[in-house]
Amino acid sequence: MTIARVGIVGAGQMGNGIAHVFAAAGYDVLMTDISADALETAVKLIDRNLERQVKKEQITEADKSEAMRRIATTQTLTDLGRTDLIIEAATEREKIKTAIFEELVPHLKPDTILTSNTSSISITRLASRTDRPEKFMGFHFMNPVPIMQLVELIRGIATDEATFKACHGVVERLGKTSATAEDFPAFIVNRILMPMINEAIYTLYEGVGSVQSIDTSLKLGANHPMGPLALADFIGLDTCLAIMNVLHDGLADTKYRPCPLLTKYVEAGWLGRKTQRGFYDYRGDEPVPTR
C-alpha cells in the first residue's frame, strides 16, 4: 500500500501535532475540523512549532517552508475521502468517533486505510461500524506529538497484515518507534499510566498529601519528569476521566474506579491547562495548586 496523502480529523491538541509530523516527514496532509477558527489556530501553531525547530537547528528554513506547503485544511469532512490514510483525532467519545467514520465511509477510495488516535476505545468496535474492518486499526500518538517518540499500533480482530505493515512503515518514516498493543481497554500506555494518575488523585482526595507534595514526591522520588497531577492537567482531566471510565466499564474491576475528586473537577469544568484551572490554577505567571 502506497501512502502519500494523509487525512487528519480534528485540529485540536493531537490533530495539529499529527499534521506537523506527517508534513515534516514529506506527506501531503489534509486536516479537517468543524471549526474554521480551530483550523486557523492549528496552522499557526504548527508554523510556530516548526520555527522553534529551525531555531534549535533541528530542521532548516527550507524544511519548514516545505512542510507548511504540504498542509491544507477543509471544514468538509468528506473531502478526506481522496486520501490514502485517515487518522481520526476527535474528542475521546465513541459516539462522535463512530459518527465521523459513518459519514466518511461512502466517500472513501477502496484502499483507504482508516485509523483512530483513540487512547482507550475498542478498535474492533469502531471498525465494525465501517465497511472495511480489515483496513482499520488504532494509531495512537503520544502528546506532544512532535516530541514524543512512541506510537501504539493496535489491531482490531479483523485488521489484516497488509494494513498493519503499511502503518508500521509510516511510523518508521516519521522517525518514531512503534509498540504493538492488543485491543483491550486503554491498550498499554494508558492501562498503566491512568491508574497511576487516578491513584495520585485518590492520595490527594484522602488527604495523604497536597498537590505540591504529591507531584514533588513523584518527580524526585521516582525520577518522573512531571508530577502525576501536573500531567493530568496537561492531558486534560476530562480525557483522564473518560479513559478511567473505559477501563472501569471494560474490565469490571473496582481498582479502575475513577476517583470522585476527578469527577468533581470535570463537573466543575476545571479540566486542566486547556481551561486554565485543574489541580493547578494557570491564570497567573506561575501555576498555583488549587488544593
Residues marked as catalytic: 119, 140, 152, 190
Q: What is the spatial distance between Cα 16 and Cα 10, in angstroms, rounded to a whole number?
A: 8
Q: What is the spatial distance between Cα 110 and Cα 84, in angstroms, rounded to a whole number?
A: 10
Q: What is the spatial distance between Cα 61 and Cα 64, in angstroms, rounded to a whole number?
A: 5
Q: Which amino acid is at 111?
A: D
Residue 171: closest CA among 191, 192, 142, 134: 142
DSSP of 120-178: SS-HHHHHTTSS-GGGEEEEEE-SSTTT--EEEEEE-TT--HHHHHHHHHHHHHTT-EE
From residue 190, how far is each of 152, 167, 268 by CA, in Å?
A: 11, 21, 24
